[in-house]
Amino acid sequence: MPGNRAVAYKEPGVVEVIDTDYPTFELKDGPGVNPANVGRKVPHGVILKTVATNICGSDQHMVRGRTTAPANLVLGHEITGEVVEVGPDVEFIEVGDIVSVPFNISCGRCRNCKVLKTGICLNVNPDRPGSAYGYVDMGGWVGGQAEYVLVPYADWNLLKFPDRDQALEKIMDLTMLSDIFPTGFHGAVTAGVGVGSTVYVAGAGPVGLAAAMGAQLLGAAVVIVGDMNEDRLAQARTFGCETVNVGEGPLQDQIEQILGVPEVDSGIDAVGFEARGHGKDADHEAPATVLNSLMDITTAGGSLGIPGLYVTGDPGAVDESAKKGSLSLSLGTGWAKSLSFATGQCPVMKYNRQLMMAILHDKAPIAKAVNAKAISLEDAPRGYAEFDAGAATKFVLNPNGYLTD
């Protein structure tokens, strides 16, 4: 049996590559594993040899110490892999298949899964609906920033790529199907983006850029991306987005300079709970800023898509309310303007096959849009540090040498 190496959270600001157990078809006790899941049998699962596994902004929240993640939690929920072992109950997935793994773990059997609300599966996390690999309070399924990883309910969860050679040729694009591309696209869909829409995306990190590309796929006339990081804003402009620096003046004024009016049809929050103030307040954290600004600049009757992460436990929050996820929202503004809101995990399976087809047929160069860069598993600590410092890069880990460029 081979060994296994994985990226683990150690303490705020520190990740390390560690030796860890090779996966088995049973959940073992370990950091973050829900006690009710210890000993859970997984005959419906497969073991993957990881082809690519990405560093995500959601991981970064944990690494900054902004969640209750325990030390030694193995990270990673953006996984693409090759099947090397199948459990006895697996019927359709075979050894050798190259597959994308939705970050949200779902059973395919509960009432929510049956209507593709896979982000809130009822059977995979004993504490609450919804689960994910390598994430705090998500049931304790081991993360995939590793050489090998266990995936449960394989026939249901896995998206098999139709041609191995084609998949490996486009793997830097296809690895985005596990999370950020569907998540960004979901933000655009739930924001009501359609042909001719004007769209504002808050945040030019990878999810924000994926949301911008998603809005373009849906037919948006103008996509404006806002951030304070000039390198990330420059990356947004490489594929046709307009940009605003929210540290340089009122957002409505900057939007009006682009559109002629100070509002957009659709707003997308790709920032989440570590938002900072805008304009003169940009030097400090203000977690409700993005949501309130989106309500201000979205037209009456419009919609807000909120793929950005918000949590119920943030030890590093600016005040006691925010530590519990309670923010000072101007809900009256949303009510007065009849705005619609959509929040929560993206149900990846609702979109991943369609987006796969767009990638395979050269309609969605998502890796180029997010400036994807492959690095070794051992370089993961450097990738985390550079991403945290604001690099306009989506770091893709290459644990087993499948990625050649």
pLDDT in tens, 308-355: 988 777 787 777 887 887 888 899 999 999 999 999 999 999 999 999
Q: pLDDT tens digit string along 282-309?
A: 667 777 889 999 999 999 999 999 999 8
Going from the N-terminus, what domains does the chain have, and what CATH number goes with each?
A: 4-179+347-397 (3.90.180.10), 183-343 (3.40.50.720)
Angle at alpha carbon of residue 269, lines to 264 and 271, rounded to 5°: 140
- Separation of alpha carbons 275 and 273, rounded Å: 5
The whole-angstrom distance between residue 306's C-alpha and the CA centroid of its chain comes to 12
Write out the DSSP string of 195-230: TT-EEEEE--SHHHHHHHHHHHHTT-SEEEEEES-H
DSSP reduced 3-state for 166: helix
Residue 82: name the closest of 169, 147, 155 by CA: 147
CA pair distance 95, 48, nearest whole angstrom: 9
385 DSSP 8-state letter: H
| Cα end-to-end distance, the chain, whole Å | 29
Residue 169: in which H helix or E strand, if any?
helix 164-169
Two tokens, residue 99:
């597959």
Q: What is the pLDDT along the chain (405 residues), one digit of tens a residue?
A: 678 999 999 999 999 999 999 999 999 998 988 888 899 999 999 999 999 999 998 898 899 888 888 999 999 999 999 999 999 999 999 999 999 999 999 999 999 999 999 999 999 999 999 999 999 888 889 999 999 999 999 999 999 999 999 999 999 999 999 999 999 999 999 999 999 999 999 999 999 999 999 999 999 999 999 999 999 999 999 999 999 999 998 999 999 999 999 999 999 999 987 777 776 666 677 778 899 999 999 999 999 999 998 877 778 777 788 788 788 889 999 999 999 999 999 999 999 999 999 999 999 999 999 999 999 999 999 999 999 999 999 999 999 999 986
